[in-house]
Homo-oligomer: A and B are copies of this chain.
Amino acid sequence: MIVTIAGAGNMARGIGTRTLVGGHSLRLYDRTRGKADDLATTLSQEVSGADVVSVDEGAVADSDVVVLALPYPAGRDVAAVWAGALAGKVVVDISNPVDFSTFDSLVVEPGTSAAEQIAAAAPGARVVKAFNTTFAGPLVAGEVAGRPLDVFVAGDDDAAKRSVSELVSSAGLRPLDVGPLRRARELEGFQFLHMASQERLGLNWSSALAILP
């Protein structure tokens, strides 16, 4: 697959690493081009045989999957601007719309989710929620506590979910299809709890949510 990641932060690095390990072509976009350049250089050094380049936003048009690795609501705003180019595309929302000023609630209203707001902002996009419960460090490692990371996948377009699940599987992680896009409400809610509990539980942003079978 051709995977374009918008954003060049820690999550882009984590998902980018796994995308390359899975043998896919990776394109990195950031509104500050130099950040995308730097991350492309880093990933090409860290993953042998990496097929990675930095791109401008026009590269979205022929991508198979576009990952919005941006905080909320920035990701929603980018989705709105790119709505035309994203029509028909598989678009992955990874965001956690946490109110970081209080760490006590989300910035989306109860009864909706960042993923649903992004889908509303880019109505033709085939939006899939994924990777919101995986921190960047475990993504780079690909595992936690000796187990492949669980990646919860929610969406209303079954073919789009299958594409994302294939991307996840090829990267050595375990996709878990948890239903329609509105299940993003519960995924975002629980990851907020997970993030807000890091200090209390003595974790260090290296923990991961799992469903143990």
Which residue numbers of A lie inside 8 Å of B, CB to CB?
104, 109-111, 144-145, 147, 176-179, 182-183, 185-187, 189-190, 192-194, 196-197, 200-201, 203, 206-213
Can you give 16 contacting A-B residue pairs, CB < 8 Å?
Answer: A110-B110, A111-B111, A144-B212, A176-B197, A176-B201, A177-B200, A186-B186, A186-B190, A189-B189, A190-B193, A194-B211, A203-B213, A208-B211, A208-B212, A209-B210, A210-B211
Q: Which of B176, B178, B193, B209 contacts A178 (CB 8 A)?
A: B193
Alpha-carbon separation in the docked complex, A111 to B206 (Å)? 29
Q: Which of B104, B179, B200, B207 contacts A193 (CB 8 A)?
A: B179
Closest B residue by C-beta to A146: B212
Q: Are B177 and A201 in contact (CB under 8 A)?
A: yes
Q: Are A213 and B145 in contact (CB under 8 A)?
A: yes
Alpha-carbon separation in the docked complex, A200 to B183 (Å)? 14
Given contacts A110-B110, A110-B111, A189-B185, contact A147 B179 (CB under 8 A): no
7 tightest A-B contacts by CB? A110-B110, A190-B190, A145-B212, A186-B193, A110-B111, A186-B189, A144-B212
Closest B residue by C-beta to A111: B110
Given contacts A179-B193, A185-B189, A200-B177, contact A211 B211 (CB under 8 A): no
